[in-house]
Amino acid sequence: MAYDLTQIEHFAVIAEAGSLGRAAMDLHLTQPALSRSIRRLEEAVGAPLFERHTKGMMLTDIGRALLPHAKSLQHGVRIAREEVDSMRGLARGTIRVGAIASISSVVLPELLTSVIAKWPGLHVQVVEDVWNNLAQALIRGEVDLVLSVEVPDTEEIVSIKDCRWKDASGMVAASTHPLRKKRRLSLADIHSAPWAFLPKVTEPYENLQRLFAAQGMGMPNIVVETRSVLVLKSLVANSNFLSWMPETMYRAERHSGEIHSLPIKELTGDRTLTAFRRRAGFLPGPSIKLLEELRLRDSNQI
């Protein structure tokens, strides 16, 4: 018996929801109808896909093996629909994009505002995270584009060569920070001061580590580690912590006078940002619209 795509979708939703009741609500179906759909799929597979418990539904070993393929099928069907709509001249569908914090805070809102103004039929889903997590989301098909710092291509992910731009990162502190009273700041001054920064596994941490190493120094006194950009900026603005971040990340706080750069030339550096896609398959039409806007933005800045 051939697998039914609707039953595959029902299976994936139940696996994610963890219970028949929640999945039925998400799918706008009755529980008996959803239960019949899954039983038919299990008959087609020839084995149980779930273990039924009073607290919910748990995947069997065969269910766990089927799940990534079910998600891949869902993703393929969605892309096919959006591609057909695009060929018919219908700007419909969803832009699924992931971005690191410094892009999602300024660059991405500007891009999406322009795209939606031109194509009001499109919808957008944004995921903000660090590169490692975004790369996995891209591979799994949870997003179709990722905007991040340029890194080497892999077997599964490639950068889009004509979508690149640069931004500058440097030392930041509150406008009232005591170090601003010093006439000449040195690396030693900022090295021993308390810092708030991103965790070790992130790209900014590695960049900062390289800059300090180039000066023959280890990492500074990082007292607080956080993945939250909001928390990071609040610590700098309100608690006299030092940090290092791209200008785009604190642009609003700079304009309001809360956070300003510190003149430490040795810790100022440019980075290249770009868009990434999966190597296999084609890019959905809605994401192409975002790329077109990104290319226009880059050409206007050159």
| For range 245-254, the mean pLDDT | 87
Structure tokens at 135: 């790369």
131: pLDDT strictly greater than 90:
no
- Per residue in 188-242, pLDDT tens? 889 989 999 998 878 888 889 999 999 999 999 999 999 888 899 999 999 889 9
Domain ranges in the chain are 5-84, 96-302
Per-residue model confidence (pLDDT) at position 256: 93
Pick one of 1.10.10.10, 3.40.50.150, 1.10.645.10, 3.40.50.720 as the CATH number of 5-84.
1.10.10.10
End-to-end CA distance of the chain: 57
Q: What's the whole-number mean pLDDT along residues 293-298?
A: 80
Least Cα distance to 259 among 231, 243, 237, 241 occurs for 237
User: What would the mean pLDDT of 58-74 be, rounded to a whole number?
Assistant: 86
Annotate 213-246 with DSSP letters as a single string. HHTT-----EEEE-S-HHHHHHHHHHH--BEEEE
Three-state DSSP class for residue 128:
strand
The runs of H, that is alpha helices, within the chain are 5-17, 20-27, 31-45, 61-87, 101-102, 108-118, 131-139, 187-192, 203-214, 229-239, 251-255, 285-301
Nearest to 249 by CA among 204, 208, 207: 204
Please tell me the class of the 96-302 domain.
alpha beta
pLDDT the model gives residue 81: 67
For the entire predicted model, the pTM comes to 0.63
Q: How far apart are CA 227 and CA 23, in angstroms?
A: 31
Q: Can you give the pLDDT at residue 82?
A: 61
Between these two residues, 111 and 301, which has the higher pLDDT value?
A: 111
Distant-in-sequence, close-in-space partners of 255: CB < 8 Å, separation ≥ 6:
none
Give the separation between CA 10 and CA 252, rounded to whole angstroms.
Answer: 44
Residue at token pair 């069907």: 77
> Which H or E run includes 282?
none
pLDDT given at position 302: 38
**How far are the Cα atoms of 8, 39, 41, 42, 80 from residue 4, in angstroms, in the given order?**
6, 12, 7, 11, 17
Condensed to tens digits (0 to 9), the pLDDT of residues 106-130 reads: 788 889 999 999 888 888 999 998 8
